[in-house]
Amino acid sequence: MNSQTSAADSPIPLLDLRAEWAAIGAEIRAALDRVFASQQFILGPEGEALEREIAQLCESQASGSQFSAPPFAVGVASGTDALTLALHAAGVGPGDEVIVPAFTFIATAGAVSSLGARPVFADIEPGTFAIDPARIEERITPRTGAIVAVHLFGLPANMEPILALAARREIPVIEDNAQSLGARYRGRAAGTLGAFGCLSFYPSKNLGAFGDAGMILTASAAAAERLRALRNHGETSRYISAERGWNSRLDEIQAAVLRVKLRHLAQWTAARRAVASAYNAALGGVPGIHTPQSPAGAEHVYSVYTIRVEGSSAERRDRVRQHLASRGISSVVYYPVPLHLQPLYSATVPGRGALPESERAANEVLSLPIYPGLTEAQIARVARAVAEAARA
């Protein structure tokens, strides 16, 4: 037998959804058969049931003394659309400014730009990788239409000071919760803290569809009703449009797949946490390597497991990544270029050096394989390879 095919150095992908499919493929096929038999593909019972079930998930996560009612949930075609429609519903339009973190996926700012508004980038907190509450107020102007907090990598942003500041200045907060469904902040579900919470069901997210899908959470019945019109050409009743809308609906096939997967989400989240704590234990003492933080009151769901490789440039991090690749281990840099340095925005915003924590994160972060089913032996192999490279 060739040594390349032995378990000891067989490739470890960043994400492997095949075990998931093996476990629940039959359940998903049965759910899809139900949709095929109904021949109803857009705005039907599966989508409505999914909206109810996601709303319940977010309610059941309320704990402690603070009562939290279930939010309204509105399915849309993607996480990006969730952000776009939520921003629009919050009143953001052409010429407005929206404060967003500089270290996030491009869609957070892209949704702002697509409305003719301008993203205003704020730096992040190094511990959470999320927008730094202390860097928001200096960015507020009379044109500020919203603040977007991103719960990055599965960890909620430091919401309390953000919500307090936003309430004082009467600016709506929108949560980009594409990466952190199931995470909690002080007992409350991420995505239910601001005016709108935006979810993505892109296939690689913690709850992934077999295509694109997204959802918006809101505590406001009126806002939910408006979002239902906005996702469907502004229709308030059949063929009657009160305002311009979008075609952005979560279809029945995706909803049926997501409902099956939702039944397993808690178990998968527990498995991710177990992988993360094994990594934390194995990497905790490695010089120059910083494992992800989980501040008191925040419950991390580890949609990705992101370490920092300390360095004044990306060179050390890139060396670790190359070493992992030489051992058959996949890793990825989420995200190599902060948004204020993207070609798309570089002409309109302050350049290099302006947002030091975002720039440092882009040089240091490295996301390691994490998924339910990653074995202890595989985790040990990844950790060993990281330690070898860090000590080299």
Binding site for ligand PLP (CB under 6 A): 78-80, 104-105, 107-108, 150, 176, 178-179, 200, 202, 212, 214
Helix (H, G, I), strand (E, B) or coil at 293: coil
Which CB sits closer to ligand PLP, 80 or 331? 80
Query: Whole-number minimum distance, CB 311 to ligand PLP, in Å?
Result: 24
Please check whether residue 383 is in contact with residue 366, taking contact to mean a CB–CB distance below 8 angstroms: no
Which CB sits closer to ligand PLP, 46 or 176? 176
Which CB sits closer to ligand PLP, 252 or 316? 252
Query: Whole-number minimum distance, CB 65 to ligand PLP, in Å?
Result: 31
Which CB sits closer to ligand PLP, 131 or 390? 131
Please check whether residue 231 is in contact with residue 223, taking contact to mean a CB–CB distance below 8 angstroms: no
DSSP class of residue 327 equals T
Query: Whole-number minimum distance, CB 301 to ligand PLP, in Å?
Result: 13
What DSSP string describes 175-191?
EE-TT-TT-EETTEETT
At 174, phi and psi to the nearest 5? -115, 130
Query: Whole-number minimum distance, CB 118 to ligand PLP, in Å?
Result: 18
Query: Whole-number minimum distance, CB 100 to ligand PLP, in Å?
Result: 10
Contacts of 132 (CB under 8 A, 6+ apart): 122, 123, 124, 125, 158, 357
Q: Could you give the CA distance from residue 23 to residue 29 in angstroms, rounded to a whole number? A: 12
> Of all helices (H) and strands (E), which one includes residue 318?
helix 315-326
Q: Could you give the CA distance from residue 253 to residue 34 in angstroms, rounded to a whole number? A: 9
Query: Whole-number minimum distance, CB 110 to ligand PLP, in Å?
Result: 8
Which CB sits closer to ligand PLP, 78 or 218? 78
Which CB sits closer to ligand PLP, 212 or 299? 212
Q: Could you give the CA distance from residue 176 to residue 293 in angstroms, rounded to a whole number? A: 20
